[in-house]
Amino acid sequence: MARSVTLRVVEGHARHYRHTWRGTTFSAIVTPVLFLSAMGLGLGSMVDSGRSAALGGIDYLSWLAPGLLAAAAMQNGAGDGSFPVIAGIKWLKTYDAALNTPVRPADLALGNLVWATARAAVAALVYVLVATAFGAMSFGRGLLATVPAVATAAGFCAAISAVTAQMRTEQGLAAIQRFLVVPLFLFAGTFFPVSQLPDAVAGFAWFVPLWHGVELSRALALGRAPTGPWAVHVAVVVGFLVVGAALSVASFHRRLHR
């Protein structure tokens, strides 16, 4: 019964998405095209001229693409865990309406997480198709790389949902974007190896879930071992998702329980 109610929440998200899918579909295609063109081909031509040993002899476009896949998925997950949540609680009051039905706060939290995961999976598939067209990865290995990328997106959605559900105003969302999402996007191994950072900062990467997601996606896309043990990367990504989901459910319950 609880599972079916959660799926009803997912269905509600899908019904609403029927009216907005055109705009998000356009950005899902254009964004990877722009990034791979500007960074992978433009900047990559300068990086490849030196054939940096830090990239293991791999051309920059192929090295960059799987990192961008995971980082873009993280951004999607963070977005779905922020403004839609505070809209449901404060602006649109859709969560209040839902709670007058058999839907519980846990269903709202998990339903939003499942929907965000599905959206991240579709966006990741589009990204792989674009990257394949650029010659940045093979389609088969790209599909493998989407698994840790989508798991990373889900983890960030869950964790940020837990924080957002406790906010009384939306002002904190800008801080999350400015001081968490953007720095992680730039410095979690997406555009250059974290080994190029100062030792103290590079060591901090082991505590950043996005870096582990980037390492897994890159390793699967390139068919080589990641930096550090596979088990550690998988444990961090999966653990972050599980803990984030539990915190999200608890946070929704505290804010919305009647």
Amino acid at 81: G
Pick the range with the lowest mean pLDDT from 34-43, 103-112, 200-209, 238-247.
Answer: 34-43
C-alpha 158, offset from chain centre: 10
* Token pair recorded at residue 224: 């080589």
Q: Can you give the C-alpha Rg of the chain in angstroms?
A: 19
Q: Are 82 and 117 contacting, i.e. CB atoms less than 8 angstroms apart? A: no
Q: Rounded mean pLDDT of 100-120?
A: 95
Give mean pLDDT, residues 201-216: 94
Q: How confident is the model at residue 76 (pLDDT cuts 50, 70, 90)?
A: very high
> What pLDDT sits at residue 199?
85
- Residue 40 or residue 70, greater confidence: 70
Residue 47: per-residue pLDDT = 66
Residue 44 has a pLDDT of 60
Q: Give whole-number Cα distances, 175 to 93, 131, 210, in Å.
A: 23, 31, 18
Domains identified in the chain, total number: 1
Summarize the confidence of residues 150-169 as an average pLDDT.
96
Structure confidence at residue 69 as a pLDDT band (50, 70, 90): very high
Give per-residue pLDDT as tens, 5-23. 999 999 999 998 888 777 7
**Secondary structure in 3-state letters for the chain:** CHHHHHHHHHHHHHHHHCCCHHHHHHHHHHHHHHHHHHHHHHHHHHHHHHCCHHHCCCCHHHHHHHHHHHHHHHHHHHHHCCHHHHHHHHHCCHHHHHCCCCCCHHHHHHHHHHHHHHHHHHHHHHHHHHHHHCCCCCHHHHHHHHHHHHHHHHHHHHHHHHHHCCCCCCHHHHHHHHHHHHHHHHHCCCCCCHHHCCHHHHHHHHHCHHHHHHHHHHHHHHCCCCCCCHHHHHHHHHHHHHHHHHHHHHHHHHHHCC
Its domain, for residue 115, covers 2-256
**How confident is the model at residue 210, as a pLDDT?**
97
Cα 141 to Cα 53: distance, rounded to the nearest angstrom: 23
What is the rounded distance in angstroms from the CA atom of residue 124 to the CA atom of residue 143? 8
What's the confidence (pLDDT) of residue 1? 46
Q: Is the pLDDT of residue 125 over 90?
A: yes
pLDDT for the residue numbered 3: 61
Of 248, 238, 71, the C-alpha closest to 157 is 248
State which amino acid sits at residue 232.
V
pLDDT, mean over the chain: 90
> 18 vs 81, which has greater pLDDT?
81
The label of the residue with tokens 């730039």 reads 186
Q: Which has the minimum average pLDDT: 10-14, 39-43, 148-152, 166-170? A: 39-43
Residue 41 confidence (pLDDT) above 80: no
The C-alpha atoms of residue 148 and residue 214 are separated, in whole angstroms, by 8
Q: Is pLDDT of 51 > 60? A: no
Per-residue pLDDT averaged across 183-212, rounded?
Answer: 90
Query: Highest mean pLDDT: which of 10-24, 127-141, 165-179, 231-245?
Result: 231-245
